[in-house]
Each structure stands twice: as structure tokens, then as C-alpha cells.
Amino acid sequence: MRHSALLDASLHLWLTANRPDGPPHTTPLWFVHDDDALWVSVRQTSWKARLLRLDPRVSLAVEGTAPAGGLVGEGTAELVEVGSRPDVARAFAARYDGWDGADPATDGPRVLAKITLSRWFQEPL
């Protein structure tokens, strides 16, 4: 992924989904990334998951500091069952002090959103 160093240094991203009535829905989320995508974990019944089922188009922002600046990107999200990607679950555990995003005991059953970016925009410094 082109911006790996900044993504590795940032612990959160801000993900924006589209509400059916127009205004955006933006939330900060933990994330992991690989060569092809960014991954977030959301509750299956969350407003975010419902919106992504209705409209997969998303935008996101990742904070950064000079000289790298932040990043803003846009793309699409595909919901994926947590159990189908144990590699992503392991990446979350490694990045976030053992957090088990597949454990429904925390706040209910979860689903992964695979975010495939169509383009990145470099934030001004």
C-alpha cells in the first residue's frame, strides 16, 4: 500500500458512510491494512454496517503529522464475515494489544469491512 508508513503510525481512521437521507455518518475506528485494503471491524447490527449494506461508497481520513501530513481517501467497503479472515483478526490482535474483534462477548457479533480505495488525496500540511 502506497502510504504504509503513515498507516502504520496511525491508530485510528475516520470512516464516512452515506446516509440515505443525505448527511454523512462519520466515526473513528481501529483499522489494519494489507497490500490490497484497509480493514475495520464493526458490530453486525450497527448503524455503520447497515449503511454500508445500503451504499458501499466510503471516504476516510487518517491523521498525520508533518512532514507526512494526513491522508484522505475514497473507495468502497465490502462486508466480510470475521471468521473468513483469520489473518485480519490476528492483525487486529497484534496491533491493538490482543483485542479479539471476533469475540461477540465484547459488544455483540461483528463483521469486517474490507475497504478498497479507488484513490488517495494528500492532505495539505
Chain mean pLDDT for the chain = 88
Q: How confident is the model at residue 27 (pLDDT cuts 50, 70, 90)?
A: very high
3-state secondary structure the chain: CCCHHHHHHCCEEEEEEECCCCCEEEEEEECEECCCCEEEEEECCCHHHHHHHHCCEEEEEECCCCCCCCEEEEEEEEEEEHHHCHHHHHHHHHHCCCCCCCCCCCCCCEEEEEEEEEEEEECCC
pLDDT of 122: 66
CATH 2.30.110.10 fits 4-122, yes or no: yes
**Taking the CA atoms of the chain, what radius of gyration do you get in angstroms?**
14
Residue ranges covered by each domain of the chain: 4-122
Task: Give the pLDDT score at 108.
Answer: 84
pLDDT at 124 over 50: no
The Cα–Cα gap between 99 and 93 comes to: 5
Q: Taking the model in full, what pTM does it have? A: 0.89
| 45-100: pLDDT as tens digits | 999 999 999 999 999 999 765 555 678 899 999 999 988 999 999 999 999 998 88
Q: Select the more confidently predicted residue: 1 or 14.
A: 14
